[in-house]
Amino acid sequence: MTETLMRGIFAPVVTAFHQSREIDSDRSIAHCRWLLDHGCDGLVVFGTTSEANSLSLLERKRLLEAIVGSGISPAQLLVGNGACALPDAVDLATHALQIGCGGVLMLPPFYYKAVSVDGLFAFFAEFIDRVADPRLRVYLYHIPPVAQVGIPLTLIEKLSARYGRLVAGIKDSSGDWENTRRLLTEFTEIQVFPGSEAFLLPALRLGAAGCISGTANVGAETMQQLYQNWQTAKAEEIQSKLNRVREIFQRYPIIGAVKAVLAAANDDDSWRYVRPPLSPLSDPDSKVLMRELEGLEFQLPKF
Amino acid sequence: MTETLMRGIFAPVVTAFHQSREIDSDRSIAHCRWLLDHGCDGLVVFGTTSEANSLSLLERKRLLEAIVGSGISPAQLLVGNGACALPDAVDLATHALQIGCGGVLMLPPFYYKAVSVDGLFAFFAEFIDRVADPRLRVYLYHIPPVAQVGIPLTLIEKLSARYGRLVAGIKDSSGDWENTRRLLTEFTEIQVFPGSEAFLLPALRLGAAGCISGTANVGAETMQQLYQNWQTAKAEEIQSKLNRVREIFQRYPIIGAVKAVLAAANDDDSWRYVRPPLSPLSDPDSKVLMRELEGLEFQLPKF
């Protein structure tokens, strides 16, 4: 049995597309490799930044196979498993387990709003019961600004009480430090990843497992420096640098911005393709973004 | 070529489940038949009230095949086509067209928030271009209280300008009469269905094509009376009766409430099954609901 507890800096990797908006596995994998060589301990495939919810279930399975087939260890992958329909979530997680990925990052079902904690519990419980695999490790994905439906603390309590270490962690992308703080101090049995590096140092001081952030697609090395040096005198300075980078990215939609940087750094405009309903960053915005990043000591992802 | 313009009273049919929460096609179809015999001009299969977003793509295809296979005319069906991922929307619509259903009721992609009108336009345009079938008729589904992402009026303008009558109509479940009024008066080339019978009489007076409402699962006959008599002296009285029924249902989550009524009327508790994250209506609430409905002259769906 592979233990798949995740720790460290994770990038929710952007997905590369051809001009037709079909998935470009080769470029996607090249980016994955670069990230693992430049600061990432692991990758979230099919996170929000991956445009995962714009990919069909079959496309996700094929890309996951291609990534693992390329030699990237499945133990380093957290498989994003966002689905409104329970059968889809069970299907993708079962497939992920078959190819060696035990860790799944699960959104709550996000179409119906104002659902009860009991209803959410029933969804996750039925998911775990149906997957029925002791290797499964569920990382809950709390991102109310996008999904609208969140992961209430009482839901984690109920799930942990029933499933123990199968409920392994949470990514908190609420942007609400108080929520992250409560997770870190009141839910010490699960691994807590803030969804923003802006909280990385205070979170590590409270025992965070690491960080999963969209900007790790371009800035994982600095995050890794902080992850390794958070108890040293350099910590505050590294956090300040992270904050400066994040402030720049926060002015733009994150997916378009990350892809614009990849396009500029690799002199390859095809990196800018996104699937609708998202739009690529405009030319002028891309130029301003690159100029802003120039001022920082910051290795761009070039492969 | 079948012209599939839809008019009249449509129920977004609830989906029956077995105790295992697998789809019960037989009971679902029995309910469809009852509705067509009791006031419905047509049915929306896979609407919000159908728990469509809790069904996998394959489940939706199989149920659609079963409904059409049972002898219900595909020309009476509007196929709900809610998907975050474009390939899924294209897949289901292509399947629907293959079995004779030209009309699809399309949600906007609803995971990513704060997307631009251009991004939404690109989604719908690519959908229509990929389906590439002159029989396709797209009915846009505007339900911001649930999907959060809506259908802005400028999006309809742009889609109609490019695709003409392929963009056939809209269901407006905003609950915002001003939006419905603008649709009816400024977008006369498309068919407008209010998503609530509370607006049926004023909407018919401005040229509405009919109504698509969750409560039509149990109250379509009264809606049909109004649809046929809106220009008569009885119209206001029928609208008042519809309002009384709606006021009762609005106190409860609509899906649980409709299923509770079906369970009570048919003395069959299996009608109450919903898929998580939804929850069935509680026993006490079900009893109160049935008592409230008793006071009204109201034929319950019994088959």
d(CA A286, CA A205) in angstroms, rounded, equals 35
Mutate to test the interface with A, among B275, B279, B282 (most CBs of A within 10 A): B275
Nearest chain B Cα distance for residue A86, angstroms: 7
**Pair B19, B270: CB distance under 8 Å:** yes
Say if residues B239 and B200 touch (Cβ distance below 8 Å): yes
Does B18 contact chain A (CB < 8 Å)? no
DSSP letters of A102-115? Answer: -EEEEPPP-SS-S-
The answer to whether the Cβ–Cβ distance between B145 and A113 falls below 8 Å is: yes
Write the DSSP string, A209-271.
-EEE-TTHHHHHHHHHHHHHHTTSTTHHHHHHHHHHHHHHHTTS-HHHHHHHHHHHHTT-GGG
**Cβ separation A112–B146 shorter than 8 A:** yes
| Chain A residues whose beta carbon lies within 8 Å of the beta carbon of residue B59 | 85, 87
Q: Is pLDDT of B103 > 50?
A: yes
How far is Cα A248 from Cα A203, in angstroms, rounded to an integer? 22
A285 shares contact with chain B (CB less than 8 Å):
no
Instruction: Order the strands of the B137-142 sheet from edge to edge.
Output: B191-194, B167-172, B137-142, B103-106, B77-80, B42-45, B8-12, B210-212
Nearest to B123 among A56, A86, A276 (CB): A276
Q: Say if residues B191 and B5 touch (Cβ distance below 8 Å).
A: yes
With contacts defined as CB-CB under 8 Å, which chain B residues touch A85?
53-56, 59
What residue of B is the nearest CA neighbor of A86?
Answer: B54
Contact A208, A200 (CB under 8 A): yes
List CB contacts (< 8 A) between B113 and chain A: 145-146, 148
Q: A-chain residues within 8 Å CB-CB of B22?
A: none
C-alpha–C-alpha distance, residues A263 and B149, integer Å: 29
What interface predicted TM-score (ipTM) does this complex get? 0.96
Q: Is B167 left (phi over 0), alpha (psi -120 to 50) or beta?
A: beta
Residues whose CB is less than 8 angstroms from the CB of residue A249 and which lie 6 or more positions away in sequence, other chains included: A214, A215, A257, A258, A289
Long-range CB contacts for residues B236-240, cutoff 8 Å, separation at least 24 = B236/B201, B238/B201, B239/B200, B239/B201
User: Is A276–B55 a contact, with Cβ atoms under 8 angstroms apart?
Assistant: no
Rounded to the nearest angstrom, the minimum Cα separation between A115 and chain B is: 6
Nearest to B254 by CA among B176, B173, B180: B173
Q: Which residue ranges of chain A lie beneath pLDDT 50?
A: 1-2
d(CA A258, CA B184) in angstroms, rounded, equals: 42
Residue B254 corresponds to which tokens in the numbers above? 């609509």
Instruction: Classify domain A8-229 at the CATH topology level.
Output: TIM Barrel (3.20.20)
Query: Cα separation of A238 and A139, whole Å?
Result: 27
Contacts of A113 in chain B (CB under 8 A): 145-146, 148
Instruction: Extract the tokens encoding B178.
Output: 């001003």
Residue A162: what pLDDT?
Answer: 98
Q: How far is A88 from chain B (nearest CA, A)?
A: 6
Asked whether the beta carbons of residue B113 and residue A148 sit closer than 8 angstroms, the reply is yes
Which chain A residues touch B123 with a CB distance below 8 Å? 276-277
CB contact under 8 A, B126 and A276: yes
| Number of Cβ pairs < 8 A linking chain A and chain B | 121
Interface-testing mutation among B112, B121, B159, B252, with chain A (most A C-beta atoms within 10 A): B112
Interface test with A, best of B18, B21, B61, B84 (most A CBs within 10 A): B84
Contact by Cβ (8 Å): A65, A33: no
B20, closest residue in chain A (CA to CA): A126
Q: CB–CB of A53 and B278 under 8 A? A: no
How would CATH label the architecture of B8-230?
A: Alpha-Beta Barrel (3.20)
What's the pLDDT score for residue B3? 58
Residues 133-172 of B with CB under 8 A from A: 145-149
- Residues of chain A in contact with residue B56, where contact means CB-CB under 8 angstroms, are 85, 87-88, 91
pLDDT of residue A189: 96
What are the residue ranges spanned by the domains of chain A? 8-229
B279 with A119: Cβ contact below 8 A: yes
Whether residue A235 lies within 8 A of chain B, CB to CB, comes out as no
**Mean pLDDT of the residues in chain B:** 96
B11 near B215, Cβ under 8 Å? no
Nearest C-alpha of chain B: how many angstroms from A22? 10
Q: What is the pLDDT of residue B1?
A: 42
Distance CA B165, CA B182 (A): 19
Residue pair A100/A75 in contact by the 8 Å Cβ criterion = yes
In which band, very low, low, confident or very high, does the pLDDT at B38 lie, cut at 50, 70 and 90?
very high
pLDDT attached to residue B6:
92
pLDDT of residue A150: 98
B149 pLDDT exceeds 60? yes
- Report the C-alpha gap between B206 and B157 in whole angstroms: 19
Beta carbons within 10 angstroms of residue B272's beta carbon: 19
Nearest Cα of chain A lies from the Cα of B124 at a distance, in angstroms, of 9
How high is the pLDDT of residue B296?
83
Chain B: residue whose CA lies nearest to A60: B85
Cβ distance A87 to B120 less than 8 Å, yes or no, reads: no
Check CB contact under 8 Å for B278 and A112: yes
Tokens 């133990």 identify what position? A75
* Residues B215 and B245: beta-carbon distance below 8 Å: yes
Q: In this complex, which of A59, A109, A145 lies closest to B277 when CB atoms are compared?
A: A109
CA distances to A90, A215, B294 from B111, in Å: 19, 20, 40
Dihedral Cα B6, B7, B12, B13, nearest 10 deg: -90
Report whether pLDDT(B157) > 80.
Answer: yes
B148 vs A contacts (CB less than 8 Å): 113, 148
Q: How far is B233 from chain A (nearest CA, A)?
A: 40
Smallest Cα–Cα separation from A142: which of A173, A119, A167?
Answer: A173
Determine the distance in angstroms separating the CA of B127 from the nearest CA of chain A, rounded to an integer.
10
Query: Residue B277: is the preceding peptide bond cis (ω within 30°)?
Result: yes
Which of A57, A111, A119 minimises the CB distance to B276? A119
B56 close contact with A: CB closer than 8 A? yes
Residues of chain B in contact with residue A273, where contact means CB-CB under 8 angstroms, are: none
Q: Classify B43 in phi/psi space as left (phi over 0), alpha (psi -120 to 50) or beta.
A: beta
Question: What's the CA gap between B196 and B174, in Å, rounded?
Answer: 9
Per-residue pLDDT, averaged over B236-242, amounts to: 97
Chain A closest CA to B300's CA: distance in Å? Answer: 27
